Structure 1
Amino acid sequence: MFEEKTYKRCTCHGPLFNRDGDPVLTDAGEHKTGRLDRNCPRLTERNHGSWFYQIELERSGDGERKRAREGGFRTQEEAARQAEEVWRASKAGVNVLSDETVAQFLTRWIKKKKAGLKRTTAHEYERDIELYLVPHLGALKLRDLRARHCQAIFDWIITDNERRAEHRTRVQELQATADAASQAWRTAPVATLTEKNERARLRAIWTTARDEHLAQRQRLQRTTGPATMLSIKTTLSSALSDALKEELIAKNYAAFLTLPKVVKPRALAWTAPRVANWKRTGQKPSPVMVWTLEQTAQFLDFIVMDRQFPGWHLILFHGLRRGELAALTWDEVDLDEEVIHITEQLVSISSEIHEDTPKADSIRDIKLNRDSVRLLKAWRKKQRTERAEWEKHKSWKDSGNRVFTREDGDVYHPQAFSDRWVRLVKLSGLPPIRLHDGRHEAASLALAAGVAPKAVHAMLGHSSMRMTTDTYQTVLPDMHAATASASLDLITAFRAQKNKKATKKAKKKRKKAPKGRGEEAA
């Protein structure tokens, strides 16, 4: 049964008295002094001392009494409210006597948790804990954690994003000022001494503007987007879920958070008007773009002699991820059956390469098209020739029988594929798409060719069919034209069929009609 006990105490020092009011003496018979606590005569003053509570909790299994006490409250009402809240938490099964802080809990939690996580997931958890959760919640006792504390993280992020956006705008303004000052200085005439002095003054103005712009540019910070906020929430929710199991909190407060909505960018095709706008402004209409059929063919023709062409072919037609491409071994390639087995990937964490297995849905078999088979056979032959040459000089590096390696057999860093892709796209003159957009390209091409969505879903290794159809399928212009024509053709065919039936019916009716008078007279 809940029974609150609140009292007031302070830190004043003075002569001590026992419960009977007699002075407490030292061994030498002198009046002993010390902290007065609850016996200070000034406690009747409103602003002197602070309020504490003490409550009896349910006894432990061995019958031992347990008490919860806390102080530092400004009023008796605050102490009473906290006492009742602690009591309710205790009744809900929370260990209210634990003094473990959020930082201490998260430290031991991630140490235990990361053993069963993918490297990339563990890295994201550690990042969220280090950069966001510990700085904002770390000093708080876990038992005192509430939804408002968790929400404050995201409220701060949103406010800080506004500050960062304002600073970015300021940097852009400083750059424009510096560019204008540079133009004024460089175009200033120098025919006379007066003009030379004026040009020197303009140069000093440009130097000041440039230095201010560079100084502010170094302080630029990227805004924290909705996807990162969702990652922080996911990490917090996972941690609090385990804290709930340990009876350290009463609820998983991450479930009550309000976050900006995560809107996944829609993949768009590089139509002629979009290409023209990109050439004029340099802006992409969407972070995720794909080429048309003609543009894809142009790119393939342009890169056909590139060393990594078989890899680009696998990405554009079979949707491999760059980590899967870098990890693929000849042991997982069956050219007789024309299939590759995706069972491993290379991931980059803080620029270091780690071998890892893909997520369960991404472990898959991919049926190769005839060109992929032909290209891989030629590539294997070329790689064997390179190996023989490098082994003559004892310089071949064994990378575990990887399919795609450097000339000396060394493994590719996944980022090397992305960097090479960007350069090839730029050299081709085509509008830009990211290497990962190649997966969108593979999905769009397959669906446009009439491949069943379920087969495309299996090829890409998605966790859900919805991701394949909603996120990775881009309606190419040729498909738009086919759709528009299909609707028109349906109506046209209906009308033609209707007219044909009407004509046939009219002919039949004329045959059954009685002969006219002219015929009878004849």
Structure 2
Amino acid sequence: MNGSTHRRCYCRDAHTGKPLGKKCPKLTSRKHGSYSIRQELPPREDGTRRSFSRAGYDTLKAAQGDLDHVRALLALADTDDHDSLQRLVTLLEEIGNEKAPLPDIEETRRRLRAGLGPRGSLTVGEWLDAWFASKKRRRTTLNGYASHIRVHLKPRIGHIRLDRLNVVHLVEMFDGIADDNEVIAAEDQARREQTARCKPSRPGRPVAAERAKLVEMKPFRKVTGPATRQAVRRTLRAALNSAIAQQLITFNPAAHVELETGKVFTKEDDSWLHPETISETFRRLLATTDLPPITLRDLRHVAATLAHGAGGDIHTIKETLRHSTITLTSDTYTSLLPEVDHAVAEAAAKLVPRSLGPRPKRTR
């Protein structure tokens, strides 16, 4: 297909006001006017011609560079790949109309290979969709992939550009999942307690009001356990390995992020110890004391509350608990102790101005 560069100016005849075009005598100087390019594109289905044109180049070198760029984009499609060629032509038409910059050649090549539109930066979410659509697996395996992508991966990292995804993004994602687990556990516990209050234990108890409160609460939800988090990482790692195979990226951050295995407690030989064993030991020790009932997990909440009561600021407690937001810390784990509540009230009372002496008597 033919293409060319040419130089023109916008000078006008002093008498007629018409553009001089190529007749401008100043065009003998290379510094006068600007360069333009025009590249023929494949004709439309009805046979009409179409082309890519752009003007305003200061030098012939810049104009020739863009013309070569357009030709290289058209060459990305194989001679027998009519669909890719049409997508590239549509891309160039849109860019020409919008006067937008020409896209990167290698990025466009990768998008075409991935079966995506040739324009735009490939995001993690777009790649996950394309990767999942190409999978031929058992239904149960595909259901697992779909769940991981829909529930965890796309909502948390789907907006990130694929070539910019790194380990920090994944650490933040799994930390967010852990934070959500704590919120879910707290909400589920509150619902269980409210459910117990809805059962009429004695005559005259206002069960209807308690049930109304229960209706307004969130339903029970499951936490994302260590095994599921590992499965989510495996899904992402497989998807990113395919992206490496297609030369979309060169590094797989999912292969380098470290997750908890669930082995919080181990035996002396570092073998796995079921967490319930520790919980049971803690309950036996608690039974030998005069302390009020408390679970092993409740110690986290108590530590945060005591730290706050001792004067620790919310931000420090947030960092200690590794929460993603300070709102989670203040709303869930730092309920005030009565002493702290009293101290706050006393501090507020001190701000109220007091009279310095007896009020003068009125004279009648």
TM-score for the superposition, normalised by structure 2? 0.40
The structure whose residues are more often strand, as a share, is: 1
TM-score for the superposition, normalised by structure 1? 0.28
